[in-house]
Amino acid sequence: MSDAANFDKIVGQIKDLAELQAYADAQYKTIVDLNKKINELKDKNQSLELVVSSLPTKPSNVVEFPSLHISAEEEVCLKQLEYLRGASNNRELTLEEARKLEVYAKILLQIRSNIKDVDTKFKKMSTDDLLKLTQEVTSESK
C-alpha cells in the first residue's frame, strides 16, 4: 500500500479536527525528534572521524624484522610499543594506554631476559656439544 493510501486511511479514521490536529502534532514532534537524532549522529560521526584521522598511521621508519627470529609475542610487543610511541608523539597517552605500555614493556623485558639466559647456557657449552645439538635438531626436523 502506498504512503498516500495509508495517509488517506488514517485521515478517514479521524473523526474531528482536534484529532487531526493531535495527529499532525505527533507527526511533527516525531519529525523534529528524528532530525535532532540525525544531527547528533552526524556530530558524533564527525568527532569519530576526527579521532580516527588523528590516530597515527604506521610510520615509514618502522623496521620489520623478518630475518631476526623473534617470537610472535615479542613481535606483538614491539608493534604495540611502536604504536604507542607514535600515539605519544601526537598527544598525551591515556591512562589505559600508559598501562598497556607498561605491560608490553615488562613482557618484552621478560622475553629478552629469557633469551639471554638461553644464550649464556649455550656459551657455557663446548663446541662439540653445540655441534651435536645442531645435528640432533637438523635430524629431528627431517
| Domain co-membership, 66 together with 118 | yes
| pLDDT class of 140 with cuts at 50, 70, 90 | low
Higher-scoring residue by pLDDT: 91, 127: 91
**Number of domains present in the structure of the chain:** 2
| Domain co-membership, 35 together with 73 | no
From 18, 37, 53, give the residue that closes a domain.
Answer: 53
Inter-residue contact 79 to 104 (CB < 8 Å): no
| Three-class DSSP category at 142 | coil
| Domain co-membership, 44 together with 92 | no
Higher-scoring residue by pLDDT: 96, 117: 96
Q: Residue written as cell 495517509? A: 7
Inter-residue contact 101 to 81 (CB < 8 Å): yes
| Domain co-membership, 66 together with 49 | no
| Domain co-membership, 33 together with 85 | no
Most confident of 36-40, 56-60, 125-129: 36-40
| Domain co-membership, 49 together with 113 | no
As given in the structure block, the three cell numbers for residue 33 are 525528534
> Which domain covers residue 45, as residue numbers?
3-53
| Domain co-membership, 49 together with 63 | no
| pLDDT class of 60 with cuts at 50, 70, 90 | low
| Domain co-membership, 39 together with 80 | no
| pLDDT class of 88 with cuts at 50, 70, 90 | confident
| Domain co-membership, 88 together with 27 | no
| Domain co-membership, 49 together with 78 | no
Q: Sort 77 into a burial class: Cβ within 10 Å, 0-12 / 13-18 / 19+.
A: buried
Report how far apart, in Å, the C-alpha atoms of 65 and of each of 9, 70, 108, 133 are.
71, 8, 15, 26
